[in-house]
Amino acid sequence: MSLFRRINEISNNEKSRKAWFGFVCAVFLCLIIIPSIFVVLKLFTEWGLVSEVLANSAMMAQINGAVFNSFSIALIVTIIDILVGIPMAWILVRKPFKGKKYLDTLMDMPLAFPTAVLGLSVVMFWGAPDGITVSGLGLVFSPYLMIIMLHIIFTYPYMVRSLSAILEQIEPNYETAAMTLGASKFTAVRTITLPLFRAGLITGFIICFARSLSETGGTYIALQLMGVQNTFFTGPTYIAENMSGGNGPMILISVMMIILALVLLVVAKTLMTRLKIPLTKVWPQFGRKISRGAVPKSKDIFSIAFLLIIVILPSFYIFAYLTQPGSNVDYGMLLYSTGISFLIAGVAVVFDIIFGIPMAMYIARQRNTFLGKILDNMVNIPLIVPTTALGFSLALFWGSLNVGSSWGLVLVIFGHIAFTYPLIVRNITGAVEEVDQSYEEVAMTLGAKPFQAFSKVLMPIIKSSIIAGGILAFTRSLGETGATVAIGNSVQTVPVYIINLVKAQAYPEAAMCSIILIAICFVFMFAVRVITHRGDNNA
Amino acid sequence: MPEIVLKDLVKDFGNDCKAADGLSLTVHGGEYLCILGPTGAGKTTCLRMICGLTRPDSGSITFDGKNVLGVPISERQATMLSQVYSLFPSKTVYENVMFAPQIKEWPEESSKQLVKSMISMVHMESKVQSYPHELSGGQQQRTALARALASDSEILLLDEPLRALDARLRLELRKELKSMTKEMELTCIHVTHDQDEALEMADRIAIIRKGRIIQVGTPIEVFQNPSTPFIANFVGRSNIFEGKVEASFEDHSEIRLNNNSIVKARKTDIAIGTDVVIAIKIGSTQIEHIHEPTEEDPVPVMPEGFFSGVIDRILYEGATITIEVNVEGTGIVSTKLPNRRYDDYASGDKVMISWPPAMVSVFNIPKCGLEEELRLD
């Protein structure tokens, strides 16, 4: 209690508030931003190594191929997400029907699965790889197509979530007005509501694209199961596969991924805000035709079928392993790695919340100032930088400061902080923007010190967003492979452990570990939900 | 009951107009002062500077002679009552009112007593466990007031506190609000753009415009002796004309309007021949029919120095009616009458408008021009 009292007193002093915010900015810069893009500097200092790689045409072909695969897959996946995500968002927000709650929950399930597990499950479902006795569909997919199928699963929920968040903000009145003026439903939606969607599309696009670009664990496992891990690469799997090799190719591909991703972020943002989509032309006949009868219904059915067949079934297919005869799971090892994973995710989330809230509040409240704009954009950087490249960059940065290898765990935590930080800041920024600043102002004129105004007034209002952001960051950290592998090979998180099992072709053990991990995640998420709901009732 | 002195406050937000531009004002201890002004005049900024939410670029603020610019918001004991009430959404009525005692860690028993008495003072006993979203606008307003009164603040800053309420409720709460703050012996500054509210509630009114206080006085002073044409028109509408001082007498003056007619106004020190603006309050005029000439009375007597014209239209406003009279060469002149006179007039009637000369203010031509002076921003 006396600690809080001291914080209250300190918060009353403007200078100390400024100092605290300065400290937050410094932490953000030194611990997150600079290490994340440090590798770009290496491009110049280690030019010798890099130019060697540039001269090696075989290696360059591989690198270019990997980068091309990463970006084209991310683009295709994102476009599919948008096309299928829009009708789905509509169903979730605008259509009242029984069991909507369950559909809503089903939607989020793949997010609770570590991607490494998804990789295993998806390949089993579609491809039924050799050496696995559970029978899947046994389709012969090219690695390229398989990776697309995989990436859709864990990006699709993000897209639907960002789209429905925006759709909830858009009043149906506009559509109704358009329809009373004679527009068909389709035309009303296309010309009135869709253009208002831009913000949601941009967020969804950036999140899905970045997510697909970064993904390592699931992709790597899928490729491994298909036996093509040495011939088919994406950017992140290339880094993961060649960790032990020289720094030259690693630096090059990391920088390529980072720069391309950042350029793409800027281009996507400007295109989406500036580009005038020619949506004004109207075809009343066509619009009317497809607004009635079988078309809208079949669209809804298609959306739900897509969710079930492409997203949910392949994710849960791994449970088919439960029908298989017992396997020798090393429970000690599994528990140990689960503990490590939870430790990393927990520390990262706590750190994110402590240092993310002041940042989010500043961005939300000072968006129009110069510093506000810069921070707003800078927070996105770790989100868009592929995590494997980020992890590699981080390792180089701390390595160059001669941080010993015994710090592996700490460095991995730093890495996880870097890519989860934006998730929490984004979530809280959105929440703070919704809250009228007059609550805190009135509280202060009633005698509350700034920290009391925050903790007693603002905090209860944005609590659920903080928790939501925390869960998002926690599960994201739990499922991350690329950054962990790139920073500290010796740090055995669950996804890393599962990958090692797959590498050793211990498929049943890998599957069992995955199932147990999923179960733990579900229990954990369920517990968090219960706790937060109880909190709501008390408030 | 501290005395508040604002001196030469300047606040520039970087827009084309400064929110405070040399603002000076003295609020006596225990006084209920209304700051009245059009939208965007800097009313809210003025309140925010007093309680510390906004820091002035320059100038000084003292409470009882003590400079408070360096004092943090939480220590100023100046509570804001905002127009959206800002009741904390996750707290009940009781918890909202308990907020200040709790964060200040006052003894629990006496706090409970205090909160209870404040809640009963605003007649909210039946809603103690309700959440803000379950309350009506008036109840929210009362709760916000109780919350403000339950702190140890000695200054209450009210930012358009009645704006969001229904018209009827607004009238009721005016009296309640004032009597409660008087009972608690608070120094109150109430910001509003509603002149009726200000005239009814205020001990004194301060008129603010473009970040400056342009007149301070009792409601009667401000209403009857406006210091600028703007105030004459803003506080109770006026008919405004330009002209020249024609003659000056002991008890009145005569002004030659631009169409050469001569009207009577109050006595003025402005020299004869000077260009002036006169303002005739629409409520202080009388109106009479001009009879058609008859044989006994061939020419109606027309007292010199007033207007005659034809009724253009009559607006029914409930308790009052406004009659717009077209005066040849001058334009529309409005007059306000009680509604029982509605049947006495019809458009097209020839009428004469007169007034007690002492009710007509005379001003020098404003530097910025009359049109700019009267603009409501």
This model of the complex carries an ipTM of 0.82
A70-84, A161-175, A469-483, B129-143: the lowest-pLDDT one: A161-175
Q: Is A370 on the interface with B (CB under 8 A)?
A: no
d(CA A218, CA A153): 11
Task: Quote helix, strand, coil % in chain B, to nearest 5.
Answer: 30, 35, 40
pLDDT at B184: 86
pLDDT attached to residue A405: 62
Mean pLDDT computed over B94-103: 91
DSSP state of B335: E
Considering chain B, what is the average pLDDT of its residues? 88
Band (pLDDT 50/70/90 cuts) for residue A537 is very low
* B180-193 residue pLDDT tens: 888 888 999 999 98
Q: Pick the residue of A1, A4, A444, A445 with the most B CBs within 10 A to test the interface with B by mutation.
A: A445
Work out the percent of chain B whose per-residue pLDDT is above 70: 97
The sheet carrying B155-159 orders its strands as B78-81, B155-159, B187-192, B32-36, B204-209, B212-217
Q: What does each C-alpha distance from A440 to A35, A130, A434, B100 come to in angstroms?
A: 35, 62, 13, 13
Q: Which of A136-140, A229-233, B277-281 has the highest mean pLDDT?
A: B277-281
For chain B, say whether A536 makes contact (Cβ under 8 Å).
no
Counting beta carbons within 10 angstroms of the beta carbon of residue A186, is it exposed (0 to 12), middle (13 to 18) or buried (19 or more)?
A: buried
Q: Which residues of B touch A439 (CB under 8 A)?
A: 86, 88-89
E strand segments, chain B? 4-11, 20-27, 32-36, 58-63, 66-67, 78-81, 155-159, 187-192, 204-209, 212-217, 238-248, 252-257, 262-266, 275-281, 286-289, 307-316, 320-327, 331-338, 350-354, 360-364
Exposed (0-12), middle (13-18) or buried (19+): which is A519, by Cβ within 10 Å?
exposed
CB B372 within 8 A of CB B293: no
**Is the Cβ pair A445, B79 closer than 8 Å?**
yes
Q: Please determine, for residue A348, whether its predicted confidence score (pLDDT) is greater than 90.
A: yes
Q: Per DSSP, what are the bridge partners of residue B334?
A: B324
Q: Report, as an integer, the average pLDDT of B96-106.
A: 90
Among candidates B133, B81, B63, B73, which has minimal Cα distance to B103?
B73
Average pLDDT over residues A471-500: 84
| Minimum-distance CB partner of A436 among B74, B84, B90 | B84
Question: B221 and B190 in contact (C-beta within 8 Å)?
Answer: no
Q: What is the per-residue pLDDT for A93?
A: 84
* Interface size, chain A vs chain B, as Cβ–Cβ contacts under 8 Å: 77
A-chain residues near B151 (CB < 8 A): 446-447
Give the residue, A76 or A295, on which the prediction is more confident: A76
Q: Do B86 and A441 touch (CB under 8 A)?
A: yes
A contact test, residue of B103, B106, B115 with most A CBs within 10 A: B103
| DSSP SS3 for A282 | coil
For chain B positions 133-162, those within 8 Å of chain A (CB to CB) are 147-148, 151-153, 157
Contacts of B78 in chain A (CB under 8 A): 445
Read off the pLDDT of residues B225-239 as tens digits, 9 standing for 90 and up.
999 999 998 888 888
Pick from A232-241, A478-487, B194-203 the range whose average pLDDT is largest.
Answer: B194-203
What pLDDT is attached to residue A538? 40
The answer to whether the beta carbons of residues A90 and A75 sit under 8 Å apart is no
Cα B155 to Cα B75: distance, rounded to the nearest angstrom: 12
Q: Which fold has domain B234-374?
A: OB fold (Dihydrolipoamide Acetyltransferase, E2P) (2.40.50)
For the segment B292-320, the average pLDDT, to the nearest whole number, is 79
Q: Which of A528, A527, A526, A497 is nearest to A514 (CA)?
A: A497
Chain B residue at shortest CA distance from A445? B79
Q: Which residues of B touch A466 (CB under 8 A)?
A: none
Of B75, B76, B80, the CB nearest to A442: B80
Q: Average per-residue pLDDT in chain A? A: 82
Least Cα distance to A445 among B107, B29, B72, B44 occurs for B72
Chain B closest CA to A442's CA: distance in Å? 6
Q: Name the residue among B118, B353, B336, B115 with its Cα closest to residue B237.
A: B336
Check pLDDT > 60 for residue B21.
yes
- In this predicted model, what pLDDT tens digit does every residue of A134-172 receive, in sequence order? 666 666 778 888 899 899 998 998 888 888 877 877 777
Predicted confidence band of residue A539 (pLDDT cuts 50, 70, 90): very low
Cβ contact B53–A457 (<8 Å): no
Interface touch B99/A446, C-beta < 8 Å = yes
Lowest mean per-residue pLDDT among A245-259, A481-495, B299-313: B299-313
Q: What CA–CA distances, in Å, run from A123 to A126, A386, A397, B83? A: 5, 23, 36, 60
Contact B153/A446, CB-based, under 8 Å? yes
Residue contact B88–A439, C-beta within 8 A = yes
- pLDDT of amino acid A536: 47
Q: Which residue of B has its CA nearest to A537?
A: B90
Among candidate residues A502, A513, A458, the one with its CA nearest the CA of residue A123: A502
pLDDT for A413 equals: 92
Which of A434, A442, A465 best tests the B interface by mutation, with the highest count of B CBs <10 A?
A442
- The whole-angstrom distance between A444's CA and the closest CA on chain B is 5
Asked whether the beta carbons of residue B89 and residue A461 sit closer than 8 angstroms, the reply is yes
Q: How is residue B260 annotated by DSSP? A: S
Is 3.40.50.300 the CATH classification of the domain at A26-538? no
The pLDDT tens digits of the residues spanning B258-270 come to: 888 888 899 888 8
Decide: B226 and B64 in contact? Cβ < 8 Å.
Answer: no
More confident residue, A522 or B221: B221
- Would an 8 Å CB–CB cutoff place A441 in contact with chain B? yes
Q: What distance in Å separates the CA atoms of residue A87 and residue A311, rounded to the nearest whole number?
A: 15
Residue B168 Cα distances to B36, B174, B177, angstroms: 21, 10, 14
Task: Given CATH 3.40.50.300, say whether it is the number of domain B4-224.
Answer: yes
Cβ distance B72 to A448 less than 8 Å, yes or no, reads: no
Q: Is B98 on the interface with A (CB under 8 A)?
A: no
Q: Are the beta carbons of B72 and A452 separated by less than 8 Å?
A: no
By the 10 Å C-beta count (0-12 exposed, 13-18 middle, 19+ buried), A113 is classed as: buried
pLDDT tens, residue by residue, A357-405 = 999 999 988 888 889 888 988 888 888 788 888 888 888 888 877 766 6
Tell if the CB–CB gap between B77 and A447 is shorter than 8 Å: yes
- Among A126-135, A210-219, A395-404, the minimum mean pLDDT is found in A126-135
User: Which residue bears the tokens 């029978």?
Assistant: A135
Residue B331 has pLDDT above 50, yes or no: yes
Of A9-18, A342-351, B248-257, the least confident? A9-18
CB-CB contact of B242 with B329 (8 Å) = no
